[in-house]
Every structure is written in structure tokens, then in C-alpha cells.
Amino acid sequence: MDFQTIATTVVTSGIVSSLATLGLQTYLKGRINHHFNEKLASFNEQIMIQAERRKLDLDRKIHDFSLYSKKRHELYPELYRYIYKANHDLRSIQGHVFISTHSFKSPEKILASFENMSILLNQQFIDELNNLYNQLGSNREEYIRKVRFFVRDYFLSELSKELNVLEKFYSENLLYFSDTVSDKANLIIHSLYYASAIITDEGSSDLFKEPKHSNLIDELDKYVKEFKGILKEELSVGDYSNKIAN
């Protein structure tokens, strides 16, 4: 075998070997790329699935919070209306007693005074007032004393009905109230009950004159004013309390 043949054989073998090596490298690279692409596609798919789940979960929480917030916007004004009216009616009892007894008045004049204030009285109140006048009209002092207690007790009874409605509304919707609103409303409700109990225990001579009564009425006015501010703040900015994040 001459040199040329040997050289040709070596070169040919080198070329074949190089081509084989290149082919193997290309094959291995292709396999690696294919495996990587499969893993990448699977990874991207998992990311998309997780992202969709998170989106659905967030959408659900936003929806739930929207309903929660809407319910709160409906309940807060109603809660304040109940509390404001109960506090107003508690304070008004003193005025009602004064109107009825500051001077000797017949039942007709007493009823006319309440009618001028747009206060509706039931037939039981009217009948009892007439009975007192028929029984004690000739005894001015006793008549006035009896009317004082009768008017006081009537309006305290009406207030008690209001407080029962208020407390029922509060307890049935407690889930929708923030802790701040719940605590303040609870304080006001118990203070209203306490104030009405104090008025009930007061005698004829010191009716509405005890400092413990007037001080509590003033304290209640302050509570209600603060409560109004709390509600307005929460309704304007929302009390999120990590509701969406959790």
C-alpha cells in the first residue's frame, strides 16, 4: 500500500469519525433540547394552572368581599337609625313628663300637646289618662303626681320595645359589623338599658333630677356622636381587616 493510499484511508477515517462524532453530538443535543423543552412546557403549564387557580380564588374573595361590603353599607345606616332614635326618645321622656305636669292640665290639653309634637298615642294611653282625671281631677297634687308616673312609664315601655328591636337587629347582624362598631354599639345599647332602669327607679320628687341620670344622658350623647363618626369613616374607606388577603 503506497503512501497516497494510506493517506487517503487516514483522511477518510478521520472524516467519518468526525461526521460520526458530529452526528452523535447533534443527536444528543437534540435529545437534551427535546427533554428540556418538554420540562419547560410542563413547567409553564403548571405555572398557568397555578396562576388560573390563584386568579379564580382572588376573584372569589373579591366577589365575597364585595357582597360583604354591600351588606355592611345597608346595615350601618339602619343600626345608626335605631340607636339615634332610642337615644333621642330616652332624652325626650323628661320633656314629655314636663309637658304633661308642669301645670294642671286636662286630658284634652295633654293630648293636644303631644299631637302638636306629632307623637301618636294609643287608645290605652288616652283611656288611662281620662280615668286618672275622672278619679283624681279634684285633687290637683295627686293628679299631677299620678300623671307624671303614668306618662313616664308609658314612654319607658315604648322605649323598651325599641331597645328590644335594636338588640335583636344588632345580634342578628353582628357578623357584618367590624369589631370597633360592634363594641361601640354594644356599649351604647347597654347604656340605654341602664339609663332607662335608672329613670324607672327614680321617685316622683327626684324624677330626672338625679346627677346619675343627667350625666349618663350626656355620656350617651357623646357615645352616639362618636359612633356616627366611626360609621362614616368605615363606610367611606372600608374596613378591610385583611379580608381579601386571608
The 10s digit of each residue's pLDDT in 4-18 is 554 455 445 555 455
Predicted TM-score (pTM) of the model is: 0.66
pLDDT for residue 79: 97
pLDDT-derived band of residue 57, with 50, 70 and 90 as boundaries?
very low
More confident residue, 80 or 64: 80
Residues ≥6 apart with Cβ < 8 Å to 140: 104
CA–CA–CA angle 195, 199, 204 (5° rounding):
165
- Grid cell, residue 38, equals 418538554
Model confidence at 137, pLDDT cuts 50, 70, 90, reads confident
- Grid coordinates representing 158 are 315604648
Report, as an integer, the average pLDDT of 35-62: 61
Least confident span in 26-30, 66-70, 171-175, 223-227: 26-30
Across 23-27, 47-51, 66-70, 84-88, which has the greatest mean pLDDT? 84-88
Q: Quick: pLDDT tens for 85-98.
A: 999 999 888 788 87
Closest C-alpha among 143, 137, 96 to residue 117? 96
- The domains of the chain are located at 74-237
Grid-cell match 472524516, residue found? 15
Least confident of 41-55, 142-156, 211-225: 41-55
Would you place residue 205 in the very low, low, confident or very high pLDDT band (cuts 50, 70, 90)? very low
- Residue labelled with grid coordinates 374573595: 61
Share of the chain above pLDDT 90, in %: 32
Q: Calculate mean pLDDT across residues 155-175.
A: 95
